[in-house]
Amino acid sequence: MTTPALQIARELAAKLEPRGAEIEAARRVPEDIVTELRRQGIFRLCIPQSLGGQEAPALETLRVIEEISRGDGSTGWVVMVGCTTALLAGYLDERFAKEIYASDPEVITAGATAPTGRARRVEGGIEVTGRWQWGSGCHHANWLVGGSLLVDEDGEVVLDPDGKPHHLLPLLSAEQVEILDTWYVHGMGGSGSTDFQVENAFVPEGRYLRFGVDAPRRNGLYRFPLLGFLGLGVCSISLGLARRAIDELVKLATVKVPTASTRHLANRGYVQSAVAEAEAGVRSARALLHEAVDDAWQTASTGSPLTLDHRLSLRLATTNASRQAAHAVDLMYNAAGGTSVYDRHPLSRIFRDMHVATQHIMVGPPTYELVGRILLGLETDTNQL
């Protein structure tokens, strides 16, 4: 079923396709595109309805991310980060949830959950100092997450009774953050995923979460694991890139006549096999992903927590979708021959973008190992799911 948000995403994707090289060269998504994404409500998909958001079903948000990524991977990445960090609205103290997500209908959140910052308790809240990588979309964000470990007055990490550090997710206002110029990469160049830092930034009590400890205050979408939903967003980008790669190869194959040949590329058997294999891989991976998300949604929408089986299925489907999408892109890149090495052809950028997406920690090879350990009945830290 095509929802209004999905229709908007498809229309936006068509506008993005001819601007890929421009976005990559700019090293961030241009402001006119960000403005349209804001005004079309794309960044409000994961914000609760009570705060003026859409609170869309999980699968709808993932399909929107996939469609926009088909138009441009970097823009899809910025949308994914904006949507997944907005899940924090379902956890925050109501006062700050309203301040951040309800006061501005075009708000964008971004940031990094990895705890490379340090936070110490002060009167009324915490004081955060740190530097973070992977600040995708930080140039456009009103608020940024800066994952931090709680430390004492001597700078030593504070441990809970189980011997684990306190991993906090404070939300920092854009005014508190210094954006650094570090994003020089070979793929996802337009995502603006540069470093950012703060020094002694005050965050009041209630404007941060205790990751893995604080439970969601709302049901449905907010019952999905925070990092798990991030992984779902990453693999949805990959599926969008793979779909675009197949489309581009099909277009090329009907007009390109390879050197020393008199027939179009489409007449070559290995190209036909590559297209069929890529199509099967992407469709089957997408089907498994949607099945896992639908199954989890049936439970989450009732307010019940997801079971270990749900989280296992989501992680397996996430990694599989990423890997199958990357394989499909590789098949299309190779089938295109020398054409795909030129920056002027979209397959070149899609190939680079895809092989940055596969490096994300939530879809890397170790995630298969995690699932395999559980399936084999081995002792495993299931909090990683």
What string of DSSP letters covers 316-385? HHHHHHHHHHHHHHHHHHHHTGGGGGSTTSHHHHHHHHHHHHTTSTTTSTHHHHHHHHHHTT----GGG-
What is the C-alpha to C-alpha distance for residues 221 and 91, in angstroms, rounded to an integer?
A: 11
Over residues 77-93, the mean pLDDT reads: 97
Over residues 331-354, the mean pLDDT reads: 97
Residue 105 token pair: 């209908």
Strand partners, 52: none
Domains detected in the chain: 4-90 (1.10.540.10), 109-210 (2.40.110.10), 224-384 (1.20.140.10)
pLDDT at 383 over 80: no
Write out pLDDT tens, residues 33-55. Answer: 999 999 999 999 999 999 999 99
Residue 349 token pair: 């950028």
Q: Is the dihedral of CA 218, 221, 225, 227 positive or negative?
A: negative
Reduce the DSSP state of residue 212 to 3 states and report it.
coil
pLDDT at 260 over 90: no
What is the C-alpha to C-alpha distance for residues 376 and 328, in angstroms, rounded to an integer?
A: 29
| Residue ranges with strand state E in the chain | 109-122, 125-135, 143-151, 167-173, 178-179, 194-204, 208-210
CB–CB of 76/42 below 8 Å? Answer: no
Q: Are strands 109-122 and 167-173 parallel, antiparallel or unpaired?
A: unpaired
Write out pLDDT tens, residues 294-312. Answer: 999 999 999 999 999 999 9
Strand partners, 125: 122, 204
pLDDT at 206 over 90: yes
Amino acid at the residue 18? P
Q: How confident is the model at residue 365 (pLDDT cuts 50, 70, 90)?
A: confident
pLDDT at 96 over 80: yes
